[in-house]
Amino acid sequence: MRRILPLLLLALTFLLLAGCANQEIRSKQTILKDTLRAYAATIRWGEIEQALSFIDPKVLAEHPPSAIDLERFKQVRVSGYDESPPITVGPEEVRQTVQLELFNVNTQTARSAVDNQTWKYDKATKHWWLVSGLPDISRRE
Residue 141 lies in a domain: no
Tell me, what's the pLDDT at 20?
45
Q: Which of 42, 67, 26 is nearest to 130 (CA)?
A: 42
Residue 71, SS3 per DSSP: helix
Residue from 123, 59, 115, 61 nearest 91 by CA:
123
In a domain, 51, yes or no: yes
Phi-psi region of 46 (alpha: psi -120 to 50; beta: other; left: phi over 0): left
Kindly tell me the sign of the dihedral angle through the C-alpha atoms of 105, 108, 112, 113: negative
6, pLDDT greater than 60: no
Give the C-alpha separation, 74 to 83, whole Å. 22
State the total domains in the chain: 1
- Whether residue 92 lies inside any domain: the answer is yes
Report the alpha-carbon distance of residue 86 to residue 35 in Å, rounded. 12
User: Looking at the domain assignment, is residue 18 inside a domain?
Assistant: yes
Amino acid 24 reads E
- Average pLDDT in the 40-47 region? 96
Burial grade of 16 (CB within 10 A; 0-12, 13-18, 19 or more) = exposed
- Indicate whether 123 belongs to any domain: yes
Residue 5 has pLDDT above 50, yes or no: yes
Residue 38 lies in a domain: yes
Mean pLDDT (the chain) is 87
* Residue 35 placed within a domain: yes
The CATH number assigned to the domain holding 81 equals: 3.10.450.100
- The yes-or-no verdict on residue 21 having pLDDT over 50 is no
Residue 49: inside a domain = yes
In whole angstroms, give the CA distance from residue 90 to residue 44. Answer: 28
Please report which confidence band the pLDDT of residue 50 belongs to, taking 50, 70 and 90 as the band edges: very high
> Is the separation of the CB atoms in 133 and 115 below 8 Å?
no
Domain, as residue range, for 24: 4-130
Question: Whole-model pTM?
Answer: 0.80
Residue 75 pLDDT > 60: yes
